Amino acid sequence: MTATTGARDPHKLTGKGQATRARILEHAAQLIYAKGVHATNNEQLRRAAGVSGSQLNHYFPTKESLVLAVIAWQAESVLSFHRSEQFARFDSLDAFRAWADFYIGYEHAYQEGCSLGSLASEIIKTDLDVHDELASAFDQWRDTFREGIERMQQLGRISAEADPARLATLLLAAFQGGTLLAQVARNIAPLKDALQTAIDYLRTFATSPDVGVTAPQVGGGVHEAGGRLDSEDVSGGQGRLLAR
């Protein structure tokens, strides 16, 4: 239960060994995110990470151990991204808007999907026991939203009527589902619609008039091309988030 990362505890390796292990992990995460678990074999990993045969066996004795380590790595990436300064712990509607705009402008979102969600979908039905690891990650992700909404309530920014837990679940589900629909359609629009509509709902609980950039939910403002923030530079150190 504790050995979530698979064999070879990183802290028992030398500096060079840790570096090699990290390099493998990083490239594995990238490859798996781009091509999926099944389409990624160890020969590709060897070439990508510049390592060779027995190294994979040395640091990750089985493919399962590698996948588990990648899951942990991606989970940590997503969570640290959502906890980063740029979103101010989601204590305002603008923080949620900035978050949505980031993914709406993030091209990988509708190409490879969510780094955690697509991985989860692909292996959830296999015999790999990854439920606990993934469930914990998604719980923490949702709690990031929930705690932000609770803080907004404490700050008087939204009504006490709102149910933070349910709204947080809707936001995360809309993101995961919207990402899947966007992947299938090869078009960001479904994700954009889902996220903005969910945030529109959140806004209906706002206590102040709110200075939203777009009108509440009237008209199909979402369906035309232009973005609202362009979001390209909401990024900072989160290149790690989805790919890379």
Partner DNA sequence: CCTCGATTGGGCTTGACAGCCCAATGGTGG
Partner DNA sequence: CCACCATTGGGCTGTCAAGCCCAATCGAGG
Interface positions with a copy of itself (CB under 8 A): 34-36, 38-39, 112-113, 117-118, 120-122, 124-127, 131, 134-135, 138-139, 142, 161-163, 165-167, 169-170, 172-181, 183-186, 190-191, 193-194, 196-198, 200-201, 204, 216-220, 222-223
Q: Which two tokens stand for residue 177?
A: 């589902």
Pick the closer one to a copy of itself by CB: 33 or 59. Answer: 33
CB of 88 or CB of 135, closer to a copy of itself? 135
Q: Compute the least distance from the CB of residue 171 to DNA, in Å.
A: 35
Report residue 45: phi and psi, to 5°: -65, -40
Q: Cα separation of 182 and 53, whole Å?
A: 37
Which run of H or of E encompasses 103?
Answer: helix 93-104
Rounded least distance, CB 11 to a copy of itself, Å: 29
For the chain, the helix, strand and coil percentages under 3-state DSSP, each to the nearest 5: 60, 0, 35
Which of DNA, a copy of itself, none does residue 2 bind to, with CB < 5 to 8 Å depending on kind? none
With tokens 């698979």, the residue in question is 6
Instruction: Enumerate the β-bridge partners of residue 158.
Output: 206
30/55 with CB nearer a copy of itself? 30
Please, which residue, 55 or 77, has the CB nearer to DNA? Answer: 55
Question: Please, what is the minimum distance in Å from the beta carbon of residue 15 to DNA?
Answer: 8
The tally of CA atoms less than 13 A away on the side-chain side of residue 200 is 16
